[in-house]
Amino acid sequence: MQVYFDNAATTALDQEVIEAMVKTLNENFGNPSSIHAHGRESKTIVEKARRTVAKLLNASPSEIFFTSGGTEADNMAIVRAIEGNGISHAITSPLEHHAVLHTLEELAHAGKIHLDLLRVDSKGNIDLNHLEELLAKNPRTFVSIMHANNELGNLTDIKRVSLLCEQYNAIFHSDTVQTMGHYPHDLSDLKIDFITGAAHKFHGPKGVGFLYINGRNKIKPLIYGGAQERNMRGGTENVYGIVGLAKALELAYAEMEEHRNYIQSLKDYMKAKLEENIPNVRFNGETDADKSLYTVLNVSLPCTKMGDMLLFNLDIKGVSASGGSACSSGSDIGSHVLRGIGADGTRPSVRFSFCKFNTKAEVDFVVDILKEICTSEEKVEA
């Protein structure tokens, strides 16, 4: 059996997304910037996709800008919002995705901002009281806090964050890459300046994403070279990818509740099976349904001698997953997220992430392999 439990990294394309993209590949090759008929057809397709995304998010089409993915969208929001508004102070979490953390650290290293990192607890929860303390001391701040952590799955109450940012006149950006297509985002209700999405996290194609820019914000492009995306992003639009993104998000919203219930049941089932079969198994981050992304389960295993070989052994047996340790090992510096919560560096951790295509039979298969690996280590030690 081949099992893919790495859906937080990327997801398989939905068949309807493939069909929509193939139709566009076959029929619409014109450059959307061209004024002739072929170009106008492609331009119409791009704008239809933009309207679809905007409607699902309860935003204006003029607030949606297509990018090459979540990383570019994060960089664009962070760099241009800070530079364009003369901001000298930023706040983020030490557990952010590197697309956010490294970008802010680079700005701080260049002397453009002072960067404060929020306190987090051993479960990976962000201290929002600390956020308010920092906001009160530093008027006109840039805040970037992700909706769900990509390694632990912890959810942050970004509505509460948005209200704090509004109260202290701060600019708020949230990396919503892991929750886009999995949770509803009502941008008419959420007081937020920027959010980001990447199609391949919700069964769309790789290499395409979007940035939402609240209409009250005016920033400059990150990429120059043309007047595409209403002068906000130079470069010919990825028409086929944009079509796939819009179709994937449309399907995700239509099936959201059904898939959430199903995938949550898989996560709960795997947690229970692991606890039943592997003594001293632990879980990194929150696991309660109301505090954790239902697609992610981060498991800390007692097979301490396995180390970095755990993922290799899973791969050999047909299981694709992600993971790491809290400590450094050779050229591998380990997971900054696990280090950030003070995870036990002697225990290997694996992130299993699920989607609508996974099954309980696959969970059973993986748990049996993990049990065999841990049992084998115990026998060797004995």
DSSP string, 80-119: HHHHHTT--EEEE-TTS-HHHHHHHHHHHHTTS-EEEE--
What CATH number was assigned to the domain covering residues 3-11+256-374?
3.90.1150.10
Using CA atoms, how far apart are residues 172 and 78, in angstroms rounded to an integer? 10
Ordered per-residue pLDDT tens for the chain, 382 residues: 999 999 999 999 999 999 999 999 999 999 999 999 999 999 999 999 999 999 999 999 999 999 999 999 999 999 999 999 999 999 999 999 999 999 999 999 999 999 999 999 999 999 999 999 999 999 889 999 999 999 999 999 999 999 999 999 999 999 999 999 999 999 999 999 999 999 999 999 999 999 999 999 999 999 999 999 999 999 999 999 999 999 999 999 999 999 999 999 999 999 999 999 999 999 999 999 999 999 999 999 998 676 668 899 999 999 999 986 544 344 456 789 999 999 888 889 999 999 999 999 999 999 999 999 888 655 445 4
Q: Which sequence positions are flagged as catalytic? A: 327
The residue extents of the domains of the chain are 3-11+256-374, 15-254
Q: Could you check whether 3-11+256-374 and 15-254 share the same CATH topology?
A: no
SS3 content of the chain, % helix, strand, coil (to 5): 45, 15, 40
Task: Report domain 15-254's class.
Answer: alpha beta
User: Nearest to residue 3, comparing CAs of 360, 252, 265?
Assistant: 360
